[in-house]
């Protein structure tokens, strides 16, 4: 099964793709959006069709004390819109500290600050997706 990992931010959506077997996540791209999501859903539809995606994995931001804050509520609303629009399963994956993990990985690989800014959201999406793939079996 092919998965698309999603890291929803206030202005960007980081994307990651799995291989056909659903074992390995790879950073893919970043989509820019405003928070009404109409244009974003259209762009996402193109990516889902082009890559023959069968399920979505959406990063779910919880507070460190496991409560759900404003970003978590916005993510749950976005999950509902994804399900209603694409009629695909949308799995939530805890994303606490994934952006920090992505940044540390990029720093350890000597990526410049400018380069990190361009790819961090898709790297975070890859970490979210890989975390899901590792635990699903």
Cα→Cα distances 130→38, 41, 51, 77, Å: 27, 23, 17, 23
pLDDT grade for 36, boundaries at 50, 70 and 90:
confident
pLDDT at 16: 97
CATH number at residue 79: 3.30.420.140
- Name the strands in the sheet holding 55-60, side by side, starting at the edge strand that comes first in the sequence: 25-32, 12-18, 3-8, 55-60, 90-94
Q: pLDDT-derived band of residue 124, with 50, 70 and 90 as boundaries? A: confident
Ranked by mean pLDDT, the top range of 14-23, 57-66, 93-102 is 14-23
pLDDT of 136 reads 80
The mean-pLDDT minimum among 8-12, 100-104, 114-118 falls in 114-118
Q: Tell me the C-alpha distance between 132 and 93, whole Å.
A: 6
Q: With cut-offs at 50, 70 and 90, classify the pLDDT of residue 52.
A: very high
Which runs of consecutive H residues, i.e. helices, occur in the chain?
A: 38-50, 70-86, 98-108, 113-135
Q: Which residues contact 58 (CB under 8 A, 6 or more apart)?
A: 6, 8, 75, 78, 79, 82, 90, 91, 92, 93, 128
Domain of residue 79, residue span: 3-135
Backbone region of residue 86 per phi and psi (left: phi > 0; alpha: psi in -120 to 50; beta: other values) = alpha
User: How many independent structural domains does the chain possess?
Assistant: 1
Q: What pLDDT shows up at residue 19?
A: 96
Residue 133, pLDDT > 70, answer: yes
Q: What is the mean pLDDT of residues 82-101?
A: 85
| 92 pLDDT more than 90 | yes
């Amino acid at each position: 099964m092919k998965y698309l990992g999603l890291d929803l931010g206030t202005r960007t959506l980081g994307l990651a793709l799995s291989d056909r077997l659903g074992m390995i996540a790879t950073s893919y791209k970043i989509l820019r959006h405003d928070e009404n999501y109409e244009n974003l859903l259209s762009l996402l539809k193109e990516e889902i069709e082009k890559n023959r995606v069968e399920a979505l994995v959406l990063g779910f931001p919880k507070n460190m004390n496991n409560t759900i804050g404003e970003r978590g509520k916005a993510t749950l609303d976005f999950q509902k819109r994804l399900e209603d629009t694409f009629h695909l399963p949308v799995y939530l994956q805890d994303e606490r500290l994934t952006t920090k993990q992505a940044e540390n990985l990029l720093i350890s690989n000597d990526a410049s600050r400018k380069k990190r800014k361009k790819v961090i959201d898709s790297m975070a999406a890859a970490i979210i997706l890989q975390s899901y793939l590792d635990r699903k079996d």
